[in-house]
Chain A
Amino acid sequence: MLDALRFEWTRLLTLRSTYWLIGTGLLVTTGVAVLLGVAGRNDPISSEVVWIALNGAAGFGLPFLAVFMAIIGIFACGHEYRHGTIQPTLTSLPQRNRLIVAKLAVVLTTTLIVTLVQMGINLGVVYVVWGEAPGLFEDPLGTSMIGYVLYVLLYVLVGFGLGLLFRGVPSALVVIFLMPLIIENMIFGLSTIPALDWLVPVVKFLPFTDGARMMELAAPEFGPESPDFDLFTRWGAGGVFALFAALILTAAWVLFKKRDA
């Protein structure tokens, strides 16, 4: 297994895209904290500001860092097929399970380290500007930050699985951005139309929407007119997202074992 890990680390570290994707992810996410600091330095800080600063405004859509790290996840297998390197890879490391485990370990460890570093940098910005980070280790802020880390990891896992499933980069990129940004938002929006109220029970099972609930500071309010979505709790919703990631990964892994390289 150590050989496989050594292979995968070398593969990741010898790609230029690894550096610019991580660099851009850190830069953009830190930029949000800096922007908040510049704009609100004279206002008293609240736990909501700390929340936005630390996760780079992840609560308003997709976390920037997750997007860039998911591309690294997609590249982990997608690049192998796109550039035909799967052949030399499998002739140097023919045990397919070992290869996938090594790829997962390296991609997820890198994601975890980069996410923690990013939170550390953003926390540094908060301390430099305000000198404090109220509620950081308390519920709900502390819990939502754990949810943020888990969301990034699961999102990268989905990207990894899609890259392996589609055996390429473009299709995986389309699915991982299209589903949360367009398809799930559209289903949610359509479910509020009375004629399409049969979509209401579906909303609680939308995987990316559920995943995003792990990062919430407060439960969402849809107003008195909106249907009762009967949403899961933070961790229940996180479980749906984790199950979705596991299904994608399992399907990709089983097919990887069965398919010709």
Chain B
Amino acid sequence: MITAKGLFKRYRKTVAVDHLSFDVRPGVVTGFLGPNGSGKSTTMRLMLGLDHGEGETLFDGQRFGTIRRPMNEVGALLEAKPFHPTRSARNHLRMLAAANRIADKRVDEVMEFVGLGDVKRKKPKGYSLGMAQRLGLAQALLGDPRTLLLDEPTNGLDPHGIHWMRDVLKTLAAEGRTIFVSSHLLSEMQLMADELVVIGRGTMIFNGDVDTFVREFTQSQVVVRGPETAGLAETLKSEGADVVSEGDALVVSGLEIGKVGHLAFAGGVELHELSTRRASLEEAFMSATGASEQFVAKEPVRAAAPAAVEGEAL
């Protein structure tokens, strides 16, 4: 169980993390979402005492800095390639293991587990980003901890690697461990996470389960399909619904599916489909964090045809 209370961090005039409080429960995967620059990494660093700020984070009731051999309690992966280029991957883990009384045998076990057993004596400078992420996970799992904090662990992984990471994290959560994981891959998070902590500009936007988040930040839509729906569309609009045509279907917002079905029945309209369209996590995320996006890129503009250069030979 992770309990974060009043986390606050300021960089000169910028407030990076603004009094964040949340709980991360064991037994489920909790996703940590937010736009770029929203303070996710800073929050994780604050939780582990790497950055100084205000507030307190307790891991099963203990502050990270007071845990004598922390890798046996909390495993962390924060940066993609924090390895000395000339020290072998195995020696990197042996070094960290030495501080936590973890046997070399366990180092070999986790290297095998993450699929790096054959290259464990190689230097990580030759590793791809995906391999480095696997080594980072091996580092986090070294002490077989009850809690895992992972910052963007799927970065650089191929589709097989992402699938593998999802299975690993869900399995670890099913064992009763506390898993707190940030990711930019929202489709992946939708498959992986049971609960969410969503922040924007350092402030809390949402803390709860994924379904509630999607429900809270998106409008559910009803899809209606039939041979003659033009009249029904007018009826639905007169009831205050927004109706959009998508091919041979109507997409209705603002009315419950039961009400749409009742109006069709009352109007004697034949229907081939009447269903609810569930919004994706990505849509909910965009809706929830749109206003708190810190670094906003310009919309792409179609380039105009280049004007003919005067005097240019044709």
Contact = CB atoms under 8 A, between A and B. Distances in A.
Partners in one complex: yes
Interface of A: 3-4, 6-7, 9-11, 14-17, 79, 83-95, 258-261
25 contacts: A3-B101, A6-B99, A7-B99, A9-B98, A14-B87, A14-B91, A14-B92, A14-B94, A15-B86, A17-B86, A83-B83, A83-B85, A84-B79, A84-B82, A85-B82, A91-B70, A91-B71, A91-B74, A94-B64, A94-B65, A94-B67, A258-B52, A260-B45, A260-B50, A261-B45
Contact of A94 (B70, B81, B84, B88): B70
Task: Bin the interface of chain B by size.
Answer: 35 or more
- Residue in B52, B81, B99 whose Cβ sees the most chain A Cβ within 10 Å: B99
B176 interface: no
Name A's interface SS: helix
A95 to B, nearest CB: 7
Which 8 pairs of residues, A with B, have the shortest CB-CB distance?
A: A7-B99, A14-B91, A84-B82, A260-B51, A261-B50, A6-B98, A92-B96, A10-B98
A88 B82 contact: yes
Contacts of A88: 82, 92, 96, 139
Contacts of B173: none
A79 B84 contact: yes
B83 A85 contact: yes
B248 to A, nearest CB: 55
Interface of B: 45, 48-52, 64-65, 67-71, 74, 76, 78-79, 81-88, 91-92, 94-96, 98-101, 139
Contacts of A95: 65
A4 B88 contact: no
Contacts of A6: 98-99
Contact of A85 (B76, B84, B88, B98): B84
Contacts of B85: 83
Contacts of A91: 48, 50, 70-71, 74, 76, 78
Contact of B98 (A3, A16, A86): A3
A96 to B, nearest CB: 9
Contacts of B98: 3, 6-7, 9-10
